[in-house]
Structure 1
Amino acid sequence: MSTIIILLFQCSILAYAFIGGVFLAFSEFIMRSLAMTGGHGGIEAMQVINREVFPWVFMTLFLSLAAVSGSM
């Protein structure tokens, strides 16, 4: 295999690990913490999270991984 393909594989593996970590953290820690705050506290906390998160970074990485997976 060429060096470019191997580098692409390695970068995609790291990106998949990052995406998996984000999903794990959200489902395990953030959702459990929001459930413990009660109704109004959880809503306010989620609104702050939605304003502070960088959706373009996550979606760019997520969609580019779909394209890379389809081409492999």
Structure 2
Amino acid sequence: MEKISYPKVWNLDKVFMGGSKSSQFSDHIKRLEALVYELEDSVKAMITPLSTNEIIKVGSFSRKHRKHSLVLIAS
């Protein structure tokens, strides 16, 4: 498998007009923070499944938060 390297410092001007000082970047960071806090709260509230009914709840949790994971990974 080929290893892909990325620079440790990104030129945010290529991604967000105005770079790290842009309102787009600020809004994006706020959105990611909100998603992380929502995910954290959901994980804290999740119980270890002990029955089939509880396993269904975990599956529902996974489907609900899958979109957040994709947003965080894509970001």
What is the TM-score normalised by the length of structure 2? Answer: 0.49
Gaps of 5+ in 1: 66-72
- Tell which structure's C-alpha radius of gyration is larger: 2
Query: What is the distance in 1 between the residues matched to 2:34 and 2:51?
Result: 30
Which structure has more RCO (C-alpha within 8 Å, separation ≥ 6)?
A: 1
Q: Could you tell me the percent identity over the aligned residues?
A: 9
Shift of 1:10: 0.9
Number of residues paired by the alignment? 57
Aligned CA RMSD, in angstroms, stands at 2.9
Following TM superposition, the consecutive aligned residue runs of length 4 or more in structure 1 with deviations greater than 4 angstroms are none
1:4 is aligned to 17
Q: Return the match for 2:60 from 20, 23, 48.
A: 48
Q: CA deviation at 1:44?
A: 1.9
TM-score when normalising by structure 1: 0.50
How far does the alpha carbon of each residue in 1:1-57 deviate from its partner, in whole angstroms, 9 at most, with x for none? x8933123212221221221132122211x2xx33x633232121223345x263x4
Q: Does 1:28 align with 2:56?
A: no
State the partner residue of 1:68: none
Q: Hey, which of these two has a bigger chunk of helix by percent?
A: 1
